Amino acid sequence: MIQIEHLTKSFGQRRVVDDLSFSVERGEVLGFLGPNGAGKSTAMRMITGFLPASAGRIRIGGHDIADAPLAAKRLMGYLPESAASYPDMTVNGFLLFIAELRGLAGDAKKRAVHRVVERCFLDSVLYQSIETLSKGYRHRTCLAQSLIHDPEVLIMDEPTDGLDPNQKHEVRNLIREMGKTKAVIFSTHILEEVDAACTRAMIIDRGRMVANGTPASLKAMSQSAGRVTLQVTGPEVTAVQAACATLAEASAVEAVGGKVRVSPKDKTAGAALARALMELAAREHWQVAELHAEEGHLDEVFRKLTVSDTVRA
């Protein structure tokens, strides 16, 4: 549904999106991650046809955004970073207006507005003017606008930004639900959203793709991936530590507080290490109070792969 080849954007001498290539199929939710200024919004603006690319090719459902912009845009819903709003329109008036722009009329128009009002929880503010809405409600109105024609492709720039925790949760569920039948790209700075909503995530740094994979495969790149923490009651922690060090699956073994932290020789073999530790505990007749393998931390991977704006400046 979304095919991107060698997408590049320069402003003057500065290349802010640098040779991005990827595709998103129906049933996929791709998370765009990256520090401030990485080029996420610029890439999304090009994908949705709001900004011409300096080089590269974008196809939406087979339609080239440069050659067939109308056909491509018809398939797409877009939640921009800072949406243009119509301050004196009511929420209802605005959504009816957008539905008309999307070619809906009569009952279909009313049904479409009703559907997004329900999905985005806008019932209580339907007849309020947009300028009097709180930030979160204004944001939800923009979200509703992007969904009005039930598009097959959804591009959302920080869809949960500024929402309260309940609404964040609802919007993540909504994205996950819509991702079952649509092709979705959304950007976020909230790394937990990768687990909550994405089938795949991409980390962008200074316009370039530095990682692209499933949430699990990205987390597995973390230093702590596969590490097993063990706590037993009874024996001295140093005795437990020494016994753990004899396992073929273990590399480093450290004592932290009353617990033992065992790193696997092979980061992908955390489960095998956990099993070996369980067997060891059974042989030694230890009473296990805690045993868990870490799947890795996305924030650690993010920090390793990206350079922050402040460091750059």
List residues near Mg ion by CB under 5 A: 40-41, 81
From the list ligand ATP, Mg ion, none, partner contacted by residue 36 (C-beta under 5 to 8 A by kind) = ligand ATP
Smallest gap from Cβ 123 to ligand ATP, in A, equals 30
CA nearest neighbour of 3 among 55, 46, 62: 62
- Binding residue count for ligand ATP, defined by CB under 6 A: 10
Query: Among positive and negative, which fits the CA dihedral 101, 23, 152, 113?
Result: negative
**Residue closer to Mg ion (CB basis): 114 or 135:** 135
d(CA 64, CA 60): 6
Give strand pairing partners of 208: 205
Smallest gap from Cβ 147 to ligand ATP, in A, equals 21
14-53 binders of ligand ATP (CB under 6 A): 16, 34, 36-42
From the list ligand ATP, Mg ion, none, partner contacted by residue 170 (C-beta under 5 to 8 A by kind) = none
Smallest gap from Cβ 70 to ligand ATP, in A, equals 24
Q: Does 263 bind ligand ATP (CB under 6 A)?
A: no
What number of other Cβ atoms are within 10 A of residue 62's Cβ?
A: 11
From the list Mg ion, ligand ATP, none, partner contacted by residue 39 (C-beta under 5 to 8 A by kind) = ligand ATP
H helices present in the chain, as ranges: 40-47, 69-74, 91-101, 106-119, 135-147, 165-179, 192-197, 215-219, 237-245, 270-284, 298-305, 309-312
Query: Among positive and negative, which fits the CA dihedral 80, 85, 91, 92?
Result: negative
Q: Tell me 129's DSSP state.
A: B
Smallest gap from Cβ 251 to Mg ion, in A, equals 40
**Residue closer to ligand ATP (CB basis): 152 or 158:** 158
Q: Does 306 bind ligand ATP (CB under 6 A)?
A: no
Smallest gap from Cβ 204 to ligand ATP, in A, equals 7
From the list Mg ion, ligand ATP, none, partner contacted by residue 159 (C-beta under 5 to 8 A by kind) = none
Q: Does 11 bind ligand ATP (CB under 6 A)?
A: yes
Smallest gap from Cβ 157 to Mg ion, in A, equals 6
**Residue closer to Mg ion (CB basis): 42 or 90:** 42
d(CA 48, CA 146): 12
With contact defined as beta carbons under 8 Å apart, do 41 and 157 qualify? Answer: yes
Smallest gap from Cβ 39 to ligand ATP, in A, equals 4
For residue 186, give every residue at least 6 positions away whose Cβ sits within 8 Å of its Cβ, in sequence order, or none. 29, 30, 31, 32, 154, 155, 156, 157, 158, 159, 175, 197
* Residue closest to Mg ion (Cβ): 41
The residue count of the chain comes to 313
**Residue closer to Mg ion (CB basis): 96 or 155:** 155
Smallest gap from Cβ 310 to ligand ATP, in A, equals 13
Q: Which residue has the tokens 């009005």?
A: 148
**What DSSP string describes 12-54?**
TTEEEEEEEEEEE-TTEEEEEE--TTSSHHHHHHHHTTSS--S
**Residue closer to Mg ion (CB basis): 116 or 154:** 154
Q: Which residues bind ligand ATP (CB under 6 A)?
A: 11, 16, 34, 36-42
